[in-house]
Amino acid sequence: MAGLRLTEGAVAAEGESILSPPPRNDHSIASKLDRLLGHLVEFPVAVLVVAEVVILFAGIIARYVVHQPLIWSDELASILFLWLAMLGAVVAFRRGEHMRMTALVGMMNPQRRAFFDVIAIVGAMAFLLLIVYPAYDYAHEETYITTPALEITNAWRAAALPVGAGLMIVSALIKLFQVSNLRHVVTAIALIGVLTLVFWLLGPSLKPLGNINLLIFFVGVVAALVLSGVPIAFSFGLATFGYLALTTNVPMIVVIGRMDEGMSHLILLAVPLFVFLGVLIEMTGMARAMVQFLASLLGHVRGGLSYVLIGAMYLVSGISGAKAADMAAVAPVLFPEMKARGAKPGDLVALLSATGAQTETIPPSLVLITIGSVTGVSIAALFTGGLLPGVVLAVMLCFVVWRRYRHEDLSHVTRATGRQIGRAFVIALPALALPFIIRASVVEGVATATEVSTIGIVYSIVAGLFIYRQFDWARLKPMLVDTASLSGAILLIIGAATGMAWALTQSGFSRELAAAMTGLPGGPITFLAVSIVAFIILGSVLEGIPAIVLFGPLLFPIARQVGVHEVHYAMVVILSMGIGLFAPPFGVGYYAACAIGRVNPDEGMRPIWGYLAALILGIILVAAVPWISIGFL
Q: Nearest-5° angle of CA 283, CA 288, CA 292?
A: 170
**Mean predicted confidence (pLDDT) in 461-483:** 90
Is the pLDDT at 57 greater than 70? The verdict is yes
pLDDT of residue 309: 85
Q: Cβ neighbours of residue 409 under 8 Å, at least 6 residues apart?
A: 342
DSSP H helices in 207-322:
212-215, 222-227, 232-247, 252-263, 270-283, 286-298, 304-320
Q: Is residue 479 part of a domain?
A: no
DSSP H helices in 507-597:
509-518, 524-542, 544-562, 566-582, 588-597
pLDDT of residue 344: 83
Which residue range forms the structural domain that includes residue 445?
279-473+508-633
Q: Residue 153, SS3?
A: strand
Size (the chain), residues: 633
Q: Are residues 171 and 128 in the same domain?
A: yes
Q: Are residues 77 and 139 in the same domain?
A: yes
Q: Is residue 14 part of a domain?
A: no
Is the pLDDT at 2 greater than 50? The verdict is no
Is the pLDDT at 139 greater than 90? The verdict is yes
pLDDT classification of 372: cutoffs 50, 70, 90 = confident
Q: Is residue 498 part of a domain?
A: no
pLDDT classification of 24: cutoffs 50, 70, 90 = very low
**Mean predicted confidence (pLDDT) in 92-107:** 81
Q: Are residues 228 and 313 in the same domain?
A: no
CA distance 283 to 479: 9
DSSP secondary structure, 294-318, as one string = HHHHHTTSTTHHHHHHHHHHHHHHH
**Mean predicted confidence (pLDDT) in 12-20:** 39
Identify the top-confidence range among 286-290, 341-345, 381-385: 381-385
User: Which stretch of 109-123, 146-160, 393-407, 438-452 has the lowest confidence by average pLDDT?
Assistant: 438-452
Please answer whether residues 593 and 552 qualify as being in contact, where contact means their C-beta atoms are separated by less than 8 angstroms: no
Q: Is residue 16 part of a domain?
A: no
Q: Are residues 177 and 296 in the same domain?
A: no
Q: Nearest-5° angle of CA 70, CA 72, CA 73?
A: 70
**Mean predicted confidence (pLDDT) in 295-307:** 78
Q: Are residues 238 and 322 in the same domain?
A: no
DSSP secondary structure, 356-422, as one string = HHHTTTSTT-HHHHHHHHHH---HHHHHHHTHHHHHHHHHHHHHHHHHHHTT---TTPPPPPHHHHH
> Which one, of 234, 565, 541, 527, lies nearest residue 375 by Cα?
565
Percent of the chain at pLDDT > 90 equals 26
Is the pLDDT at 10 greater than 50? The verdict is no
User: Which stretch of 27-36, 179-188, 293-302, 448-457 has the lowest confidence by average pLDDT?
Assistant: 293-302
Q: Are residues 469 and 322 in the same domain?
A: yes
Q: Are residues 70 and 213 in the same domain?
A: yes
User: Which stretch of 219-228, 449-458, 545-554 has the lowest confidence by average pLDDT?
Assistant: 545-554
Specify the number of domains making up the chain. Answer: 2
DSSP secondary structure, 460-506, as one string = HHHIIIIIS----GGGHHHHHHHHHHHHHHHHHHHHHHHHHHHHHHH
> Whole-model pTM above 0.85?
no
Is the pLDDT at 370 greater than 60? The verdict is yes
Residue predicted with more confidence, 219 or 95 = 95
Q: Is residue 500 part of a domain?
A: no
pLDDT classification of 13: cutoffs 50, 70, 90 = very low
pLDDT classification of 119: cutoffs 50, 70, 90 = very high
pLDDT of residue 169: 95
Q: Is residue 186 part of a domain?
A: yes
pLDDT classification of 543: cutoffs 50, 70, 90 = low
Please answer whether residues 502 and 244 qualify as being in contact, where contact means their C-beta atoms are separated by less than 8 angstroms: no
Label residues 345-370 b or e (16+ Cβ within 10 Å = b): bbbbbbbbbbbbbbbbbbbbbbbbbb
Please answer whether residues 446 and 266 qualify as being in contact, where contact means their C-beta atoms are separated by less than 8 angstroms: no
Please answer whether residues 570 and 385 qualify as being in contact, where contact means their C-beta atoms are separated by less than 8 angstroms: yes
Q: Is residue 493 part of a domain?
A: no
Q: Are residues 425 and 550 in the same domain?
A: yes
Q: Are residues 286 and 208 in the same domain?
A: no
> Which one, of 75, 79, 80, lies nearest residue 148 by Cα?
75
Is the pLDDT at 90 greater than 90? The verdict is yes
Is the pLDDT at 571 greater than 70? The verdict is yes
- Beta-bridge partners for 153: 146
Is the pLDDT at 25 greater than 70? The verdict is no
Task: Write out pLDDT tens, residues 26-54.
Answer: 457 888 888 899 999 999 999 999 999 99
Q: Is residue 22 part of a domain?
A: no
Domain boundary among 218, 236, 264: 264
User: Which stretch of 23-27, 66-70, 98-102 has the lowest confidence by average pLDDT?
Assistant: 23-27
Cβ count within 10 A of residue 23: 9
Which amino acid is located at 333 in the chain?
Answer: V
Q: Are residues 301 and 255 in the same domain?
A: no
pLDDT of residue 432: 85
pLDDT classification of 318: cutoffs 50, 70, 90 = low
pLDDT of residue 17: 44
pLDDT classification of 374: cutoffs 50, 70, 90 = confident
Q: Are residues 340 and 229 in the same domain?
A: no
Domain boundary among 264, 296, 329: 264
Q: Are residues 398 and 312 in the same domain?
A: yes
**Mean predicted confidence (pLDDT) in 161-168:** 95
User: Which stretch of 118-122, 160-164, 206-210 has the lowest confidence by average pLDDT?
Assistant: 206-210
pLDDT classification of 319: cutoffs 50, 70, 90 = low
- Beta-bridge partners for 146: 153
pLDDT classification of 3: cutoffs 50, 70, 90 = very low
Percent of the chain at pLDDT > 70 equals 90
Residue predicted with more confidence, 396 or 278 = 396
